[in-house]
Amino acid sequence: MSLLNQFKTSLARSKSGFVDRLGSLFGSGEINDEFFEELEETLVSGDVGVQTSLKLVDQLREAIGNQKVKEREEARKLLIQIITDTMSSGENSTLADQKPAVILLVGVNGSGKTTSAAKLANLYRQQGKKVLLVAGDTFRAAAIEQLEIWSGRAGVDLIKQEPGSDPSALFFDAMNAAKARDADVVIGDTAGRLHSKYNLMKELNKIYRVVGRNLPGAPHQVLLVVDATTGQNAVAQARSFNEALALDGLILAKLDGTARGGIVINIQDELEIPVSYVGTGEKIEDLAPFNAADFAHALLED
């Protein structure tokens, strides 16, 4: 499936709400104050956030003025361009050429970390890379088993330890294993944690430092996995994790499960953390590298 179609399918639920309302706004009719007001309301209702919505509407108003656009249909193209420009910094967030390249997935409980780790492993393996998964959620036996099943499906090796063991020690060993096994990409799952829990955030920080001590420069990509259905709270999560770890990007999981989908624009605009991937379903292949233009078209075109 093409990226555009993947976004369209995953935004299908938004069809009954946000995307549909946006689409009908850009049908026939003149451009007047009511149009701008309704557009702002619609964007806010789609989780774009008040400030970001205002900004987008202002940019559109300016572009419409500059280009003397009269038709709503033409204004649609302008908004597609504005959203594309806002979102494009997340594209091509490819991994540096280090070997092994280390990716760490973090996030609150249940956001989609373990599933996304498996999806990423699958993606890199399909590119011919030798991938190593790390079962960094050592708190729950079930979490280790879950990743073990996924690693089997993705056809990649898994590094794990007994439930209850120290995740930093596990990651230290995993770096050794990655070097010994000549892995190209190491993908580390971590336990879910509330962004407001100081000790748990400190533990993540320790993992980060231990990885870097064993392998200078690593981790090369720290990705926050955010559940698209959590709405505005996702912005607060991104802010806290970014303060603790300096995030390189986001994985927006469960975009297929929300009637809104505008939260990505909000996070990108407010925090300038690029969206690297979008989760579009529960299966291993349901992960799409982010593409700004495709996303904007999926939001605004029928």
Ligand X SMILES: Nc1nc2c(ncn2[C@@H]2O[C@H](COP(=O)(O)OP(=O)(O)OP(=O)(O)O)[C@@H](O)[C@H]2O)c(=O)[nH]1
| Burial class of residue 65 (count of CB atoms within 10 Å of its CB; 0-12, 13-18, 19+) | exposed
Rounded Cα distance, 258 and 274, in Å: 20
We find the least distance from the C-beta atom of residue 136 to ligand X, in angstroms, to be 10
Q: How many residues bind Mg ion (CB under 5 A)?
A: 2
282 interacts with ligand X by CB under 6 A: yes
109 interacts with ligand X by CB under 6 A: yes
6 interacts with ligand X by CB under 6 A: no
C-alpha closest to that of 189 among 153, 150, 218 = 150
221 interacts with Mg ion by CB under 5 A: no
- Residue 184 interacts with, from Mg ion, ligand X, none (CB under 5-8 Å by kind): none
CB closer to Mg ion, 113 vs 260: 113
129 interacts with ligand X by CB under 6 A: no
Among positions 79-138, residues that touch Mg ion (CB under 5 A) are: 113-114
238 interacts with ligand X by CB under 6 A: no
42 interacts with Mg ion by CB under 5 A: no
Buried/exposed code over 173-198 (b: 16+ C-beta within 10 A; e: otherwise): ebbeebeeeebbbbbbbbbbbebeee
26-34, 91-99, 113-121, 175-183 -> range binding ligand X (CB under 6 A) = 113-121
Q: How many residues bind ligand X (CB under 6 A)?
A: 21
5 interacts with ligand X by CB under 6 A: no
192 interacts with ligand X by CB under 6 A: yes
> Would you list the DSSP string of 34-103?
HHHHHHHHHHHHTT--HHHHHHHHHHHHHHHHHTT--BHHHHHHHHHHHHHHHHGGGTT-PPPS-SSEEE
- Residue 29 interacts with, from Mg ion, ligand X, none (CB under 5-8 Å by kind): none
| DSSP 3-state of 278 | strand
> Would you list the DSSP string of 72-89?
HHHHHHHHHHHHHHHHGG
Binding site for Mg ion (CB under 5 A): 113-114
Binding site for ligand X (CB under 6 A): 107, 109-115, 137, 143, 192, 225, 253-254, 256-257, 279-282, 286
